[in-house]
A and B are shown apart, each in its own frame.
Chain A
């Protein structure tokens, strides 16, 4: 038996950065919206495994929808992130040329950036090192993109969804879409998890699964496949010294390896780009990781092995063509926000707005914002880097209880992660909302403590504590 609720104006499929952005954008309008996500939590696909760069569009292919949507999104990050309690810093990128051949490619890339309307300049090797002293002394020249930024893409995704949920969007996790009901050219209901959700319109933001969703709905077929990236995460002690994102000079086929200081002052190296078939394959291999490290050291000699704290792999959606944002050609009330390859974070605000205007064109009540809609999240104070920790502790003594010492995450922050409109339901959910266990000891010190707190806050017995999906339990039942 499936539970059938009231018919919704819009069902958004996919709880990654694009789906959550769409839900957020629609949440301030008069439409009733349900977001469904297959995984146990939001932000479980490409949105959590990426560099966290907001590109200014300098390196997008000119004239494409991607370039246009990225450019439209770029100026608004400071204001948006303030409203979504999401860390963001516009620090700029240096694409560093080490060889004469790389240097020779810079003018063409500069032209491309200018065609896109993105600020860019070529600087000498010396000037590059003044902007970022960590750049190799081998640098001959660099292309500087001052408008690029770094963002916490997980907090962005969860921030979009949190504000959406507070504005009444229903968020259903662990709800994979298994089918659709149709009436002629229209979808009438979405079957997701144990629910049958009547829908006036459907937004397909299913990331790597978007091709399958379109096919299930009877929409246009499109081929998508996973492009795997492998990464290193390095310690704050090195990441905190970075002033710029540092990358190599892109070629026709790849943008190469970046050294990206995160908003938390850690350092990411990556990603690689290897197309494959299995979207669940998130395995790392030594050879690839070695190559990433060497590529990073070529740009920044200070990158050393002892700073490494984690390696991981993630899949981003690859497709041909890219950026299918708009109405489906076969199903009248299906709108795609799909095939958004690796720039989903960077374009998400403009993609959400484009989806909204497309829905308005097909008659959905998403034209005007409700005057009483909540437009900003109340910022949650965090101990790490807080200017007045004593004041925090006086307000709530749990801020004085540091659970994860590496990332300085307190019991107050872990408790708050369980009291959100879309709360943590796993240890990974706690990590994504607080960074607990994500630091240099990778939980060797604090995982037990975080697990105990999660057990209490989520009301779960210890043997039910899941690392991520419900089957991925931390422990196993003792005996038989």
Chain B
């Protein structure tokens, strides 16, 4: 008799740690969109190497998990589509900042309202979403997008942190950094592109982009497992910043939840 099959979506530290904990209890497959494990902590992190070896799981990398029906997961990759049978699914797909509708930001839809994940990614590739961007949020995404935007040539970056909390390197300030702890954007204004952002209380900030970096919510995009999927365990720690220890601990918790799920009928 073989071990039950478990599929973990997401080969970050959380997913790998879960897979490592399940070794000997389940036949684990780990799926990830990008062709290397490590997630936000990177393939070069020592824990990535350690956990990949410890898990000894089948890795399906560079492939996207798209659909879960409680028994099988459809995975799409350039080599083809694969239906992975599984007695349990672990969703360890990380987090994202809140979107515009989730933040309740009113007004028209000019270009230049961009998620921090995108703004940082584009800046790394030399494309600046704004020369005077306003970043909403004060945590790790705000920090990383501020750094990338300044590095890519932004003249100044304003950080509006609605809950007043600023990541330590941001709180230290900087020559082209303007900090507005407690400021909460409520509306955006502009024509073709963003021209200003209105804050709660009525103040306006002139800017040419609004970078959404506030809040930490689970990023879920496997159909059938977005909310309370069947035989699904969610392992998406909401720490800001994301820590290796937090991820390992979430992976261990998920493995425990999977084992109790496998024991139940």
Nearest to B209 among chain A residues (CB) is A476
Interface residues of B in 63-80 (CB under 8 A from A): 63-64, 66, 74, 76-80
In the complex, whether A312 has a CB less than 8 A from a CB of chain B is yes
- A472 near B192 with CB under 8 A, answer yes
| Nearest Cβ on chain B to A284's Cβ, whole angstroms | 5
A-side contacts of B118, CB under 8 Å: 443-444, 447-448
Task: Report B's interface with A, CB cutoff 8 A.
Answer: 33, 63-64, 66, 74, 76-82, 96-97, 99-102, 104, 106-111, 114-115, 117-118, 121-122, 125-131, 152-153, 186-187, 191-193, 208-209, 212, 219-221, 223, 226-227
Contact of A439 among B106, B114, B115, B221 (CB under 8 A): B221
Given contacts A281-B108, A440-B220, A474-B127, 9 further A-B contacts (CB under 8 A): A286-B106, A311-B101, A397-B78, A398-B78, A408-B66, A442-B101, A472-B192, A476-B129, A478-B128
Contact of B107 among A284, A306, A451, A474 (CB under 8 A): A284
| Nearest Cβ on chain B to A432's Cβ, whole angstroms | 14
Nearest to A465 among chain B residues (CB) is B127
Q: Which of A50-58, A88-96, A202-210, A388-396 contacts B (4 or more CB under 8 A)?
A: A388-396
B-side contacts of A473, CB under 8 Å: 111, 192-193
B-side contacts of A283, CB under 8 Å: 106-108, 187
- B115 near A476 with CB under 8 A, answer no
**What count of chain A residues pass the 8 Å CB interface test?**
60
A-side contacts of B76, CB under 8 Å: 383, 389, 393, 399-400, 402, 408, 410
- A476 near B81 with CB under 8 A, answer no
In the complex, whether A79 has a CB less than 8 A from a CB of chain B is no
- B102 near A448 with CB under 8 A, answer no
Given contacts A285-B106, A448-B118, A478-B128, contact A441 B153 (CB under 8 A): no
In the complex, 6 of the A-B residue pairs with CB atoms within 8 angstroms, ordered by the A residue number, are: A393-B77, A400-B63, A408-B223, A448-B125, A471-B191, A476-B129
B-side contacts of A37, CB under 8 Å: none
Q: Cα distance A113–B17 when bound, in Å?
A: 61
Nearest 7 pairs of A and B residues by beta carbon: A444-B115, A472-B111, A389-B81, A471-B192, A467-B111, A478-B153, A402-B64
Q: Cα distance A237–B117 when bound, in Å?
A: 24
Q: Cα distance A330–B166 when bound, in Å?
A: 67
- A400 near B115 with CB under 8 A, answer no
A-side contacts of B33, CB under 8 Å: 402, 405
In the complex, whether A406 has a CB less than 8 A from a CB of chain B is yes
| Nearest Cβ on chain B to A257's Cβ, whole angstroms | 17
B-side contacts of A282, CB under 8 Å: 108-109
In the complex, whether A358 has a CB less than 8 A from a CB of chain B is no
- B99 near A309 with CB under 8 A, answer yes
- A401 near B78 with CB under 8 A, answer yes
A-side contacts of B193, CB under 8 Å: 471-473, 476
Nearest to A237 among chain B residues (CB) is B226
Nearest to A448 among chain B residues (CB) is B121
- A393 near B80 with CB under 8 A, answer yes
B-side contacts of A342, CB under 8 Å: none
- B66 near A445 with CB under 8 A, answer no
Q: Cα distance A237–B100 when bound, in Å?
A: 20
Contact flags (1/0) for A106-143 with B, using CB distance below 8 Å?
00000000000000000000000000000000000000
Contact of A309 among B101, B122, B129, B186 (CB under 8 A): B101
